[in-house]
Amino acid sequence: MVEIVEYEGVIQIKLSRELDGKPLYWVAAYFVDGLLIDTGCDYTAAELVAFLAGKKLDLVVNTHFHEDHVGGNAQIRKHFQAPIYAPPESIPIIGQKPFLYPYQEMVWGYPAPSTAKPLPPFIRTGHHTFDILATPGHSAGHIVLLEKERGWCFSGDIFARENPKFIRPEEDMGETIRSLEKILAAMPAQITLFTSIGRIVENGREALEAYIRYLQELAAKAQGLHKQGRSVEEIIQDIFGGEHLFAQMTDGQYTTENLIRSVLKIPV
């Protein structure tokens, strides 16, 4: 399933596996001035290629190695001459079949192994220059693309929403805060966020600042309860009313427990 949204010269390509005529989970790729940012999942690779047919595709950038961001790489390489670039840490992972949990296989599918080149410090297209900024936190080697003249930030998964209730076990909220602060420092006052979940956030600076405040306040609250002797399970109950349903849906991968354990490590 594909939906197309155009915004100030940027084409958002929303992609999802379809089940009973409904999308399972949207993920967004972006096409601007011959540059494709991320390639969606394996289930939608053919639809992505069909959308790009006849268009001038000059190069592809993966923001990180997760299966919903590199799933179209192999089909892109088969049908186009455009080189694919990725963070150095992601390249070996993209080049082999990953381990997936059942929910990942159902929603996104196994990406075919593909090859990529290491990202340079910046990408220049016909009309734009995109700085590559390392933004770990969501995953090792995660990057964002910044077009400073336009105030555009293609944020991958370092930002999805201002107040997440669950995260993966490998996510580091302290690193995430530092990455968000790096984006704020690098960009002009006005920021537009192009997120991988399909949100285009025009008040991006306010959204990033709100996310940082949320994590800092959550860390302070969780650590205060922890100092009172509350267990992680009790902190989850006190703050969120219990574990999120996503924990069961994702084989214990996306959990509130992961979030609390991570914010307990943030200096406050």
In 3D, which of 268, 265, 261, 253 has the Cα closest to residue 232?
A: 261
Residue 268 has pLDDT above 90, yes or no: no
Name the average pLDDT for the chain: 97
CATH class of segment(s) 131-268: alpha beta
* Amino acid type, 55: K
The per-residue pLDDT for 94 is: 97
Question: What CATH number does domain 1-127 carry, 3.40.50.2000, 3.60.15.10, 3.30.230.10, 3.60.60.10?
Answer: 3.60.15.10
Residues 115-131: pLDDT tens digits?
999 999 999 999 999 99
Q: In the structure encoding, which two tokens stand for residue 253, read together? A: 């991968």
One fold for both 1-127 and 131-268? yes
Residues 71-86: pLDDT tens digits?
999 999 999 999 999 9
Residue 218 has pLDDT above 90, yes or no: yes
Q: Where are the domains of the chain?
A: 1-127, 131-268
In 3D, which of 215, 71, 253, 250 has the Cα closest to residue 137?
A: 215
Give the separation between CA 107 and CA 101, rounded to whole angstroms.
10
Q: Which residues contact 145 (CB under 8 A, 6 or more apart)?
A: 37, 61, 63, 123, 130, 131, 132, 133, 152, 153, 154
